[in-house]
A and B are shown apart, each in its own frame.
Chain A
């Protein structure tokens, strides 16, 4: 068990956005270890490495949609096809929110679809123990 309560992976090509997301998360929950990757490819490589090093997988993934090389939706689909990774909840973040994009994300297995910027209130709602998310978080921490 690491000294962090949990680990979060942020996949975001815009460093400013990544920084803001990170800051917002840390504002709410300082005891979280955050990894950051610039696009889908890097994220998958990171997770692959984690799998093989037998280090703990992230508890939640925050992922932008519009990214170079491999976008958020492609990465999401790849994640959900991997039996070792598919249990990790994925929160999709979009600059331009629209319904069809949201539908695709939820259909592809995303936990939730949020508009940027990530609001502290929205994050707190996510991690505050609602019955469902607690069950999830406990199962993932096991």
Chain B
């Protein structure tokens, strides 16, 4: 029990004592006062009172004693009560003082404690400040990280390739959107192997295990079937490490290479379908692709070819230089023929046979790697053909020369006896010392006439052979002038026949050899005169002719015409449809045709029997 309660109890007791003392004192005072009052109230009755007082006084003393008694009682009480009150105050004050002291102490202690606590708090505050700073920093860091994470997630999600993370058990923990797209299902939480057909899951399982064992990434090409469509995937599996460098799972990137595969397949098919041998070589000169033609050409199978150096297909003597060529080519690859201009490239078959080849080179770039596609043609046959053609050409040239010589010789040597025959016949006819009869004259005339016709035939033949033989000397010729010359040369015949010549409009300028144009016009007009209708006046009209890319002259007559089935024949040498029509060798139109062919031009014939004929000679227009 705290000490102050004892004080309170003592105080209460003292209070009671004080009240008791006060009571006792008051009752003593009251008694004395009563006594006093009795003595004072008996002036009239003073005797009685005095008597009584005297009695009482006798009995109790006198009033002065009483007052003194009261006084002393009061002063005693005052003293006593003062003492008591003092005691009481002291008693009451003591616990308060004690309490106060104790409180002070406590306050001091508390202060101390508070100070301590404040110090602690300040320290804590600093710590908290630091922590706050740290937290802010971390928070910033975290927001950055989360931003990076978000970005990474975005990257992963927007990736074309399916990206998975697997745990060690092989379950998919995360998968991106591409995975959903490619596999057509939400893969998360599924066993990765189950995403693939059972046929390939064993292979995949082995791969996962080796990845874990060797702690290194590995790749695998695999195909799946989704919605009845084959998808080719290239898987890249890498281990995921914890901070302690332990493998905690795998990351799998599945790249859809269907298109690449398709392109590869197309490329392979195109190469395979090529009519030439095709061999693809990488920059180290090794064969990476070959088609069936190449197999057939070199006698190796594809398996034997692929991976082998290309120089295996080159004759041994050429191998070192060929390697150098390959090296040089890859330094500056371009599309060209191998060994430009040279004709002595050879390939070597498996059995050692050498054969001439022509090689076209085309560089292609696949995945930043340069390859070269060689297209190889076996030209043995071509060379053989070329040689044969060359020989044939030479022979043809020789034959041509022989032919020309022959024509010349024939014309000359056939003409010589004709000259003799005509000469002697003429002499005989004009000889004075020989009496000739009319019939002799007639016979001699026939001889001479026949010789002339033979001569003109030979002359034409000779002419024809010369046209064929000689080169053209083309100029721009005014055909109006040429026509006038032609008409001049035929003046006699025109007059004789009474022919009418109509020139309709100006004639074009032609790019031709003038003498030959002259010949053409002369032959055609002369024919028109020759093959006129017996009793009709010949009318020959001459006008300009035009056809796509060609321009020329058109000569129409009102002669006997040429039947359709004869129209082709009239251009043949010695062809005379109507020998009765007059003189002529039958070479005239054939010369015209030859001249037009020589000019790369053409001759167009339109004719109706009994109406007339028109010839158009058309020369190519000068560009």
B420 at the interface (CB under 8 A from A): yes
A20: which B residues are within 8 A, CB to CB? 419-420, 423-424, 427
Q: Is there a chain A Cβ closer than 8 Å to B411's Cβ?
A: yes
Within 8 A of A (CB), among B11-42: none
Count of residues in A whose CB is under 8 Å from the partner chain: 12
Query: Are B420 and A96 touching (Cβ within 8 A)?
Result: no
Bound-state Cα–Cα, A23 to B420, Å:
12
Q: Which of A17, A66, A117 contacts B412 (CB 8 A)?
A: A66
Please report the C-alpha to C-alpha distance between residue A98 and residue B458 in the assembled complex, in whole angstroms: 12
The answer on a CB contact under 8 Å between A23 and B427 is yes
Q: Is A116 an interface residue (CB 8 A)?
A: yes
Q: Provide the B403-426 mask, 1 if CB < 8 A to any CB of A, else 0.
A: 000001001100111011011101
Tell whether, in the assembled complex, residue A96 and residue B462 are in contact, meaning their CB atoms are under 8 Å apart.
yes
- Taken together as a complex, chains A and B put the C-alpha atoms of A14 and B417 apart, in Å, by 9
In the bound complex, residues from chain B placing their C-beta under 8 Å from that of A14 are: 416, 420
Q: Mark A1-41, 1 if CB is under 8 A from B, else 0.
A: 00000000000001011001001100000000000000000
Q: Tell me, yes or no, whether B100 is within 8 Å of chain A by CB.
A: no
B126 to chain A, nearest CB (A): 126
A95 touches B466 (CB 8 A): no
Given contacts A23-B427, A96-B408, A98-B462, contact A16 B420 (CB under 8 A): yes
Q: Is the CB of B422 within 8 A of A117?
A: yes
A12 to B326, CA, bound (A): 73
User: From residue A130, how far is it (CB to closest CB) to chain B in Å?
Assistant: 25
From A66, A98, A116, contact of B466 by CB (8 A): A98
Bound: A121/B263 CA distance, A: 92
In the complex, residue of chain A having the shortest beta-carbon distance to the beta carbon of B416: A95
Q: How far is the CB of B471 from chain A (nearest CB, A)?
A: 13
Find A117's partner among B411, B423, B459 (CB 8 Å cutoff): B423
Least CB distance from B183 to A in Å reads: 91
A96 touches B422 (CB 8 A): no
- When chains A and B are docked, how far (Å) is the Cα of A116 from the Cα of B419? 7
Residues of B within 8 A of A117 (CB): 419, 422-423, 426
- Expressed in whole angstroms, the Cα–Cα distance for A117 and B451 within the complex equals 12
Give A46-88 as 1s and 0s: 1 = Cβ < 8 Å from B's Cβ atoms: 0000000000000000000010000000000000000000000
- A20 to B427: give the CA distance in the assembly, Å: 9
CB pair B408 A95 closer than 8 Å: no
Q: With A17-B420, A116-B419, A117-B422 given, is the CB distance from A96 to B427 under 8 Å?
A: no
Q: How far is the CA of A117 from the CA of B459 in the complex (A)?
A: 14
For window 422-462 of B, CB contacts with A under 8 Å fall at 422-424, 426-427, 458-459, 462
A-B contact pairs, 6 of them (CB 8 A): A16-B423, A20-B423, A66-B412, A96-B408, A98-B462, A116-B419
Apart from A16-B423, A20-B424, A96-B411, 17 more pairs, CB < 8 Å: A14-B416, A16-B424, A17-B419, A20-B423, A23-B427, A24-B423, A66-B412, A95-B412, A95-B415, A95-B419, A96-B415, A96-B458, A98-B462, A116-B419, A117-B419, A117-B422, A117-B426
Which 4 interchain pairs have the tightest Cβ spacing?
Answer: A20-B423, A16-B420, A117-B423, A116-B419
